[in-house]
Chain A
Amino acid sequence: MQEPLLEVRGVKTYFPLERGMLFGRGAATVKAVDGVSLSIAQGEVLGLVGESGCGKSTLARTILRLVPPTEGTVILAGRNLAELAPEDLRAARGDFQMVFQDPYASLNPRMTVYDTIAEAIQAHRAVSRAELAAEVSALLNRVGLAARFSRKYPHEFSGGQRQRIAVARALAVRPRLIVADEPVSALDVSIQAQIINLLAGLTREMGLTMIFISHDLAVVKHISDRIAVMYLGKIVELGPAAGVLERPLHPYTKALSSAMPLPDPERERTRKRIILEGDPPSPVNPPAGCPFHPRCAYAIPECSRDQPRLEAFRTGHEAACLRLEQVNAD
């Protein structure tokens, strides 16, 4: 197997919680990411799914060093990002870029499209004016926008077009890794399709590596090679995209995939849904043992004591559950 582009080992990201005077200080921490290890090969698309508060965005931000990890290492293309000095980190940032959920908030309203993209190019490379202009129009073309749009401001564009501009800006530094955090959630169905096609095409044609975060399982399944499922700061399942959602191993993923609305009324009415009780527990005070055990139908006393590790059940498809064999006996 070739050297992975990105390797994450035992990453923990904790946030101290400021408490009121009454209860004293510094007692509590939010364990947003609590011991995550994974690796991504060059050209691979990894889907990251999980519900709000499960730590998927924090994990992505930790990988990009937008948040410093409390523990663990992040190695991108052979460099340990966690140990880089600030000036080296700045240079390394050319290797990775992020596309955010809300294209209304992530573009500077007072900069033209040209300036937005040119700034990104110049931040990491010295180019002549003529080259700059040529490169901006090439990038706009690449994301399906006409070069004549380059003198316009973000407010003159629709949501889908803005997301294209955000993608062009991300591509401007020629990154090796793109993290897309809910890039289509704010868009209409028909516009979503455009952006999904665009991102899928870019990874195919340019060999880009991508972490694609979304709560929309159908979208993640469509675009990803592999999917990692997170629950309360931990990865509970990791495997090939279709396998994870069609033949899930972990009880949480089983519930998640059964909650995914099916586009077929016949199948939708006849299938059995696993409805989870309650809400995910707070990452301030995560339950001992398996984080999912308080809501799990298969839980036994050991589950509240022992922390399960990711174990391979099928080739390349692993899950963290003490009762993996019994849960998947059928």
Chain B
Amino acid sequence: MALLEVDDLRTSFHTRNGVVRAVDGVSFCIDRGETLGIVGESGSGKSVTCLSLLGLVPQPPGRIEGAGAVLEGIDLLRCPQEVLRGIRGRRVAMIFQDPMTSLNPYMTIEEQLMEPLLIHEKIDRAAAARMALQALQEVGVPEAEQRIRSYPHQFSGGMRQRVMIAMALIGKPDLLIADEPTTALDVTVQAQILDLIAQQQRQRGVAVIFISHDLSVVAGFCDRVMVMYAGRVVETADTRAVFREPKHPYTRALQRSRPAMQAKGAELYVIPGLPPDLSRPVPGCAFAPRCEFAVADCSRTEMQLQDVGAGQASACLRVQRGELTLQ
């Protein structure tokens, strides 16, 4: 049985300019110990999807609907706030892109590490302090005994992200959501942090949802990939399969626009046009207006994710009909 099963999640924002459908019918599941990468550009709904699951979307203006998001028998979309609060930070933890803005500048690292323990577990301060120190040592912060009394500004970006990871894992969650955890970091530090997350995942068997705009980071890190565009899932597949043969023109376009995947100096592929305005209804496939393979049917037929073989699912009508092979 899957650890988390999300069915037809819909998150919309009711603004003065209309209803923005940020997440529009997203379904996926993740098993224990698995790593799922969610890839997409800004505004594709990848972060809002995860924030919605944790009830972290302000309502109003947000509105979260959907058939369900079941974490081991508890429907996250319908359970009372108190239950959700118990799940956040303990069963499901999240780390964000910028560790400086997600740490409290007025609190020492120690206090911040102890806080979730004092809230969720029934233990005294001394025990919490011991666990905090151990957590900091486990994420490889040198001289943890002294540094635990420092404030976030006394740490480098990489060290802060280590603190965030320690804080996320201290409640022994089953699911860790990492939202662009390495985007603000340097390459060598990025490698350290990815290595750390992978190692902690192996030791604890925690499932990871890894949100990124960078397909190449996901390539090395995730078992499965889910590609999002305009609030919808356009493709899900085993990571290897996506790189061998993408089953959606948008995935292919993303790959072709990255210099790392092209011959040096070659003209990079540019996706024409702009993403759709999500406050207006998007008929048919949301990517059709920018797709080089689109036919008239694409903007008429409702988009649906369908199995296209070998565990790969695509929302492309022409791939589903067998008219299109992307390589």
Looking at chain B's contact residues, is the secondary structure mostly helix, strand, loop, or mixed?
Answer: helix
A193, B213: Cβ atoms closer than 8 Å = no
B190 beta carbon closer than 8 Å to chain A: yes
CB <8 Å contact, B186 and A52? yes
B12 contacts the other chain (CB 8 A): no
Q: With CB as the reference atom, state the residue of chain B lying closest to A221.
A: B264
Q: Does B126 lie at the interface of the complex (its beta carbon under 8 Å from any beta carbon of A)?
A: no
- Which residues of A259-280 have CB atoms within 8 Å of chain B's CB atoms? 259-266, 268-269, 273, 275-276, 278-279
Q: Hey, which chain B residues are within 8 Å of A120, CB to CB?
A: none
Residue of A nearest to B238 (CB): A265
In the assembled complex, B265 has its CB within 8 A of some CB on chain A? yes
A197 with B261: CB separation less than 8 A:
no
Task: Tell me if B213 and A188 are in contact (CB < 8 A).
Answer: yes
Give every chain B residue within 8 A of A190 (Cβ-Cβ).
41, 253-254, 257, 270-271
Distance A264 CA – B274 CA, assembled complex (angstroms) = 28
Most buried by B among A222, A223, A241, A256: A222
Residue of A nearest to B219 (CB): A265
Q: Which of B15-23, B77-85, B151-159 contacts A (4 or more CB under 8 A)?
A: B151-159
Q: Which residue of B lies closest to A192 (CB)?
A: B257
A174 to B270, CA, bound (A): 27
Selected from B42, B255, B271, the residue in CB contact (under 8 A) with A263 is B255
Which residues 280-327 of B have a CB within 8 angstroms of A? none
Q: Is the CB of A273 within 8 A of B216?
A: no
Q: Is the CB of B188 within 8 A of A276?
A: yes
How does the 8 Å CB contact mask read for B184-213 relative to A, with 1 for contact and 0 for none?
A: 001111111001000000000000000001
The answer to whether B217 has its CB under 8 Å from any CB of chain A is yes
State which residues 273-311 of A face B: CB under 8 Å: 273, 275-276, 278-279
**Contacting pair A262 B142 (CB below 8 A):** no
CA–CA, A279 to B185, complex, Å? 11
**A51:B189 contact, CB within 8 angstroms:** yes
Evaluate whether A196 and B259 lie within 8 angstroms (CB atoms) in the complex, with A188-B41, A266-B240, A275-B191 already known.
yes
A268 to B255 CA separation, bound complex (whole angstroms): 16
The answer to whether B220 and A189 have CB atoms under 8 Å apart is: no
CB-contacts of B30-51 with A (<8 A): 41-42
Residue of B nearest to A241 (CB): B264
B243 and A265: CB pair below 8 A?
yes
Asked whether B214 lies within 8 Å of A261 as measured between CB atoms, the reply is: yes
Whole-angstrom CA separation of A262 from B218 in the bound complex: 9
Give every chain B residue within 8 A of A276 (Cβ-Cβ). Answer: 188, 191-192
Closest to B240 in A: A265
Q: Judge whether A259 and B190 touch: CB under 8 Å.
A: yes
- In the complex, the answer to whether B42 meets A188 with C-beta atoms within 8 Å is yes
Q: Contact at B187–A262, with CB atoms within 8 Å?
A: no
- Taking residues whose C-beta sits less than 8 angstroms from the other chain, chain B's interface range is 35 or more
B3 within 8 A of A: no
Residues of B close to A222: CB separation below 8 A: 259-260, 262, 264-265, 268
Asked if A323 is at the interface of the complex by the 8 Å CB criterion, the answer is no
Tell me the smallest distance from the CB of A216 to a CB of chain B, in Å: 8
Q: Which of B195, B213, B265, B271 is A200 in contact with, Cβ under 8 Å?
A: B265
The reply to whether the CB of B112 lies closer than 8 angstroms to some CB of chain A is no
Q: Assess whether A259 is in contact with B220, with CB atoms less than 8 Å apart.
A: no
Name the A residues within 8 Å of B215 (CB-CB): 189, 263
B188, A261: Cβ atoms closer than 8 Å: no
Is there contact, CB below 8 Å, between B239 and A265?
yes
Closest CB in chain A relative to B118 CB, distance in Å: 30
Residue A194 CB within 8 A of the other chain: yes
* Contact of A158 with B by CB under 8 A: yes
Where the two chains meet, the residues of B that have a C-beta atom closer than 8 Å to any C-beta of A are 41-42, 142, 156-159, 186-192, 195, 213-217, 219-220, 239-240, 243, 253-255, 257-262, 264-265, 267-271, 274
Q: In the complex, given contacts A189-B257, A259-B187, A273-B191, what are 16 additional A-B residue pairs having Cβ atoms less than 8 angstroms apart?
A: A189-B213, A190-B41, A200-B265, A200-B267, A215-B186, A218-B258, A222-B262, A222-B264, A223-B265, A255-B188, A259-B188, A260-B187, A261-B190, A263-B255, A265-B243, A278-B142
